[in-house]
Structure 1
Amino acid sequence: MTDTTPTKTTRERRRRLPMIIGAILAALVIIAIAVVLIFRWTFPSGPAFRNLPVSGDSEVRTTYGDVRGARQDSVFRYLGIPYATADERFKPAHDVEPWDGVFEANAYGPTSPQGAMFGGSAPSDDTGTDNNCQNLNIWTPDINDHGNRPVMVWLHGGGFSTGSANERNYDGANLSESQDVVVVSVNHRLNVFGHLDLSAYGEEYAASGNVGLLDIVDALEWIRDNIEAFGGDPDNVTLFGQSGGGAKVLALMTMPSARGLFDKGIVQSGATETMGVTFATQEQGQALAARVLDGLGIDPEHLDALQTVPVDELQAATVDALQQTADEYEIPAPLGSGYQMEWGPVVDGDILPTNPVTEDSFAQAGRDVPLLIGSNLNEWTSFGSPTQVPVGQEQAVQEAVAQAYPDINGLEANRVDTLIRLPMLKIMSHKADQHGADVYAYVFTRNSGAAGSYHGAEIPYVFHNVDNAVSDTVSQAWANFARTGVPSADGLPEWEPYTRDGGATMLLGDDTELVHHHDRELMALLSPEYEY
């Protein structure tokens, strides 16, 4: 008789198979992200990188000195204005030293050093990056006119690890001009520079796990003190961000120190379970920091040595530390199977008192902040990470797809995102449970049957950097939400707030429609164990 008992080697291979599959999926996603970034840089949708001379009529006085920008079509553009200074790593930034003369705001400022994502390595080229990357960009229709325009502050994606405010896809000129708003984009510290929790090693590092968020708070304080001269209303500030930028909005809605510095939030595809719904615990953050120090051979008694470690060595030391901490605390990978930890805020009980989503409600600091929140129908399924349809449920799921999206021909169940849609549902439901400011929900469906409403596909429409009716509608809805707290646009149905009972959701695409709990049955079939 043949012995069919698996050998130790076979069992080990089977045990490692899900991890290998997860690594392959993560690699595919990294490749997809690279392709998208290349597309952004190669095929600009807006005129962001036009080399424009400074304009003599653009001078504005700020708290640190005069600045001069450029004319970009019908708006003024200011690039790289410093809002704070971080001359030490892992510590809060401080005020900018006032300058004499006029600051020529016609070149993008430095960005944060870029970190690793999804278990990969950080980029080796750190040209144009700096720990002292606290600067912002502004687009405005007019200056010094007491215009009291809504201020829309963009927080870029890339998790809390990569990206910058300087990408071409984030050019704010068309949104500013078409909707008569002031658009601001913010650079701030990321990855190990923004979120290495050294709080176990002394009071001077108490805030180190969240200095990236504190940079954004510094930017909001600068906006409060200066944006009126740029034609904006300091009492009407809306945060909007996509992916990691949306998670930053959620984090700021959780921070008491940010309360009152902004009035509304827009979250575009901005959360997974471990980045946006929740963040790292302080225990996890401190364990990660201990591993980074160990990998660098730095004694905790000599933390000053961290200030001079080359960027590539510092980033390299974080890769294994992140994975080991994920394994220890069994942190689920955001994509694929196995465990993985990404850089992000730390729930320290002080700067971040709680997670954005609490057990039965939402963070108290965000109670009075209206929220517009949603995701894209296809998200990561367009990047080689299809939704898994439960075996034996194929027909029922496909029927539920047709019921949820009857106007999208050829939509397959494995192209319907659950990775981000389900956390979005949890966030909006818990925010509604709070019975504070209203929540408005959407699903972006443009091109869902062709190229796909992939992760980030809505961004050019929000910024009005494509010329079609969908872009007109989406950019106007976002701007009107910033203006009034209620999203609306010409020809758009009345946008009802989302509640658990009503489930009102706007489908934004070629056929825009307000629906109610349209995909409740579909989500239950695709992820029967998920509770929100």
Structure 2
Amino acid sequence: MRRSTLMLAILLATTAASAQMPPKVNPVTVQSAAGTLQGDDQDDVLVFRGVPYAAPPIGPLRWSAPRPVAAWKGVRTAVAHEPPCPQPVMPDFTSANPGGVNGAQSEDCLYLEVYAPEAVKKAPVLVWFHGGAFFLGAGHLPSYEGRANARQGVITVDVNYRLGALANFNHPALDRGPGPHGNYALQDAVAALRWVRDNITAFGGDPDNVTVAGQSAGGGIVTGLLSLPAAKGLFGKAIIQSGALLRPDITPEESTEKTLAGLKDIDVGPDATPESLRQISAQTFVGTPSLMRGTFFVKDSAYKPVSTIEALTAGTETDVPLLIGSNSGEGGFAAARRFAEMAGDQGAPAWLYRFAHTPAWRAPEWKAGPIHSAELMFTFDTIDQSSWGGDRADATDRTLARVMNGCWTAFVRMAPGSRRLRCGNGFEWKPYGKAGEVAEFRSTGPVIIDARALPDGPPK
């Protein structure tokens, strides 16, 4: 190759590389309990990614309660997300799995993201738990970005929690000694809330004004927190989107039976030791159909003595204001309506919603109405970040997104003890009561109608 040709090739390669470089970071530092974090000031929104809230659950800490983060010296950069928790992904990494994730994963995954308005004090906090059927998903996905929330004065904390068999797993070799055993995803959620309690003041947040929120499996996490003694006092409000999982917990024996049956598929017998179980690769767990999903929440007399449906029936749930609902193109509205009725029958009120807007570009696909997860880019006002939105959105979509994001953040900002929720340019969102009040978010905006006349999902 002649020298001129070589120089041209180097120049072209350098130019291409520089064009792909990430944007310049505007560093901002915060002093957390474990050490100094350096994030990114993005147009007056402070963004911290890949913030550890618990020690990596690897090696001997696999299937153990989350441990505190080890302190570090110097400044820890927190401008890029860490790999999500192990889960099945497409082998070529070019397309996302149903939980929105592609690329590498790691058992070292107990991280969170923080989006905070600049120069705030005692700002309300939204702690978000992602969906994904308890074995998919991640907290860093673009639909959950908290920039719009920050412009409304709300700090957003997006949380990763353990998934599948690495989150819900009971085995005779592991279920010995001090507990709790199983329910590791719920234990992670509590660890994240404790991190918020101990650290959010440094970001300008109010640890006494925390709302837990989640969608689908994340809504199931929130459902579980509402009856979990370890979570008591760590939050004051709750949001459940398409995740009203009102079902009994399974017994440890049922969880163990399912675990042992799945292990047979990888030639592991019931006499396995803790050490041998922890040597099984994470990829083996997420790639084995009988193991990848783990088991559901497990009854534990010391840690999780009752399910939330049992607590609601007995009136012993954590009594906090609740915002709950689902989308008109999916099932689950009847469960959300029942949840609102049971949670709001005395004490703190419940607000019920139904999302009934189908974007014009989705009409050919969503013929029965907005499907599962369709509301996320509206409640977070992340149309431009979501893979479901972008340039295809029109003025109707964007207006409704601003209205819904305003209503959700108004709930997060709501004063403790309030029974009045006003949002969306004066919309009065009435709590669920004897008239069956539900806020239906239509293309033209929200209206209050009677939930009792609405079907559970799409018309049959």
Fold in common (TM above 0.5): yes
Pairing partner for 1:373 from 315, 319, 324: 324
Report the CA distance shift for 1:291/1:493 in structure 2 as closer, same or farther (over 3 A): same
CA distance in 2, matches of 1:421, 1:80: 35
Pairing partner for 2:400 from 456, 470, 473: 470
Matched, 1:158 2:132: yes
Greater share of strand: 2
**Structure 1: which amino acid aligns with 2:114?**
I
Report the CA distance shift for 1:298/1:72 in structure 2 as closer, same or farther (over 3 A): farther
Show the 5 A alignment for 1:482-493.
Answer: 482-484=412-414, 486-493=420-427
Show the 5 A alignment for 1:165-204.
Answer: 165-177=139-151, 179-198=152-171, 201-204=174-177
Partner residue of 2:22? 51
Matched, 1:303 2:274: yes
Gap regions ≥5 residues in structure 1: 1-48, 323-340, 380-418, 528-532
CA distance in 2, matches of 1:305, 1:437: 48
Report the CA distance shift for 1:89/1:127 in structure 2 as closer, same or farther (over 3 A): farther
Say whether the 8 Å CA contact 1:68–1:78 is kept in structure 2. Answer: yes
Report the CA distance shift for 1:426/1:468 in structure 2 as closer, same or farther (over 3 A): same
CA apart distance, 1:101: 0.6
**Structure 1: which amino acid aligns with 2:302?**
D
Aligned length: 405
**Structure 1: which amino acid aligns with 2:355?**
F
Partner residue of 1:421? 333
Partner residue of 1:349? 301
Matched, 1:315 2:286: yes
Matched, 1:504 2:437: yes
Matched, 1:136 2:112: yes
Report the CA distance shift for 1:289/1:130 in structure 2 as closer, same or farther (over 3 A): same
Report the CA distance shift for 1:205/1:446 in structure 2 as closer, same or farther (over 3 A): farther
Report the CA distance shift for 1:282/1:502 in structure 2 as closer, same or farther (over 3 A): farther
CA apart distance, 1:524: 12
CA distance in 2, matches of 1:156, 1:80: 15
CA apart distance, 1:523: 5.3
Show the 5 A alignment for 1:20-419.
Answer: 51-56=22-27, 58-85=28-55, 86-87=57-58, 88-115=61-88, 128-143=104-119, 145=120, 147-177=121-151, 179-198=152-171, 201-204=174-177, 206-271=179-244, 275-296=245-266, 297-300=268-271, 302-317=273-288, 319-320=289-290, 343-358=295-310, 361=313, 364-366=316-318, 368-379=319-330, 419=331
Say whether the 8 Å CA contact 2:260–2:269 is kept in structure 1. Answer: no
**Structure 2: which amino acid aligns with 1:456?**
S
Identify which range, 284-293 or 209-218, moves more after superposition: 284-293
Say whether the 8 Å CA contact 1:199–1:205 is kept in structure 2. Answer: no
**Structure 2: which amino acid aligns with 1:441?**
L
Report the CA distance shift for 1:137/1:523 in structure 2 as closer, same or farther (over 3 A): closer
SS in 2 for 1:183: strand
Percentage of identical aligned residues? 30
**Structure 2: which amino acid aligns with 1:67?**
L
Report the CA distance shift for 1:471/1:50 in structure 2 as closer, same or farther (over 3 A): farther
Following TM superposition, the consecutive aligned residue runs of length 4 or more in structure 1 with deviations greater than 6 angstroms are: 524-527
Gap regions ≥5 residues in structure 2: 1-19, 90-96, 384-396
CA apart distance, 1:62: 0.6
Partner residue of 1:516? 450
Say whether the 8 Å CA contact 2:88–2:287 is kept in structure 1. Answer: no
Q: Show CA shifts across 1:306-347 (max 9, x none).
A: 111122322344x2368xxxxxxxxxxxxxxxxxx8743222
Q: Name the TM-score, length of structure 1 as normaliser.
A: 0.70
CA distance in 1, matches of 2:294, 2:212: 23
Matched, 1:461 2:378: yes
Say whether the 8 Å CA contact 2:173–2:273 is kept in structure 1. Answer: no
Q: Show CA shifts across 1:348-403 (max 9, x none).
A: 2333222221287267242x211100001112xxxxxxxxxxxxxxxxxxxxxxxx
Q: Name the TM-score, length of structure 2 as normaliser.
A: 0.80
CA apart distance, 1:184: 0.7
CA apart distance, 1:198: 2.7
For the aligned residue pairs, the C-alpha RMSD in angstroms reads 2.9
Say whether the 8 Å CA contact 1:198–1:205 is kept in structure 2. Answer: no
CA apart distance, 1:157: 0.6
